[in-house]
Amino acid sequence: MPFFSELFVSEILRKPVLDPRGEELGRVKDLVVVKGDPLPKISFLIIEKKRKLFNLPWSDLNMFNKRIISAAVYKEDLKHYEMNEDDLLLVRDIFDKQIVDVNGAKVVRANDVKLESYEGDAVLIAVDVGMRGALRRLGVKLGSEKFLKLLRRPRIPYKLISWNYIQPLKPKLKAIALTVPRQMVSELHPADIAEIISKASPDEGAHLFKDLDIETAAEALSELNPEVQAEIISAVDAEKAADIIEEMSSDDAADVLSDLPTEKAKEILDHIEKEEAEDIQELLSHEEDTAGSLMTKEFIAYAPDITVKEAIENFKKDAEDIETVYYIYVLDAEGKALGATSLRELLLADPSMMLSEIMETKIKSVTPNEDVEVVAEIMSKYNLAAIPVVDSNNAMLGIVTVDDIMDVMVEEATEDMYHIAGTSEVRFGNIEDARLLDIVKTRIPWLALCLLGGLISSIVISRFENTLATFVVLAAFVPVIMGMAGNAGLQVSTTMVRNIGLNSINNYWRYVAKELLAGLMIAGITGIAIAAAASALKGMPMLGVVVGVSMFLAISSSTILAILAPTIADKVGIDPAITAGPFVTVFNDILGLTIYFTVASIFMRYLI
Does residue 2 carry a pLDDT above 80?
Answer: no
CATH number of 509's domain? 1.10.357.20
Q: 80 — phi, psi (to 5°)?
A: -65, 145
pLDDT in tens, 473-511: 888 888 888 888 888 888 888 888 878 876 778 888 898
pLDDT in tens, 184-236: 666 677 887 887 777 766 777 777 788 788 888 888 888 888 778 888 888 88
Continuous H helices in 248-307: 250-258, 262-270, 274-284, 291-294
- Residue 271, pLDDT score: 87
Nearest to 388 by CA among 475, 303, 292, 453: 292
- Residue 1, pLDDT score: 54
Domains identified in the chain, total number: 4
Same domain, 473 and 553: yes
Task: Quote the CA–CA distance of 313 and 292 in Å, as a whole number.
Answer: 31
Average pLDDT over residues 335-351: 91
Task: Quote the CA–CA distance of 495 and 331 in Å, as a whole number.
Answer: 43
- Residue 507, pLDDT score: 86
Least confident of 20-34, 208-222, 510-524: 208-222
Q: Residue 475 domain-assigned? A: yes
Q: Residue 364 domain-assigned? A: yes
Same domain, 228 and 323: no
CATH number of 7's domain? 2.30.30.240
| Opening angle at CA 103, ends 98 and 104, nearest 5 | 70
Q: Residue 427 domain-assigned? A: no
Same domain, 473 and 573: yes
pLDDT in tens, 226-270: 778 888 888 888 888 889 988 888 888 888 888 888 888 888 888
Same domain, 172 and 209: no
Question: In this prediction, what percent of the chain has a pLDDT beyond 70?
Answer: 86
Same domain, 7 and 145: yes
Same domain, 49 and 133: yes
Q: Which of 285, 314, 340 is the last residue of a domain?
A: 285
Q: Residue 292 domain-assigned? A: no
What residue numbers bound the domain in which 362 lies? 301-403
- Residue 428, pLDDT score: 44
Instruction: Write out the H or E segment, with its range, that includes residue 8.
Output: strand 6-8
Q: Residue 528 domain-assigned? A: yes
Peptide bond into 38 cis (omega under 30): yes
Same domain, 141 and 187: no
- Residue 358, pLDDT score: 92
Confidence tier at 161 by pLDDT (50, 70, 90)? confident
pLDDT in tens, 37-87: 888 899 999 999 988 999 999 999 988 888 889 999 999 999 999 988 888
pLDDT in tens, 288-325: 888 888 888 889 999 999 999 999 999 988 887 777 78
Same domain, 195 and 167: no
What DSSP string runs through 336-379?
Answer: BEEEEEEHHHHHHS-TTSBHHHH-BS----B-TTSBHHHHHHHH
Pick the more confident residue, 44 or 576.
Answer: 44
Mean pLDDT of the chain: 82
C-alpha torsion sign, points 416, 420, 421, 427: positive
Nearest to 582 by CA among 495, 489, 484: 489
Q: Residue 420 domain-assigned? A: no
pLDDT in tens, 363-383: 999 999 998 888 888 888 888
Same domain, 278 and 132: no
Q: Residue 472 domain-assigned? A: yes
Does residue 169 carry a pLDDT above 70?
Answer: no
- Of the ranges 4-8, 31-35, 160-164, 566-570, the best mean pLDDT one: 31-35
Does residue 175 carry a pLDDT above 70?
Answer: no
Same domain, 155 and 14: yes
pLDDT in tens, 391-442: 988 899 999 988 888 877 777 766 666 665 555 554 545 565 566 777 777 6
Q: Which of 228, 257, 285 is the last residue of a domain?
A: 285
Q: Residue 419 domain-assigned? A: no
Same domain, 534 and 603: yes
Same domain, 275 and 309: no
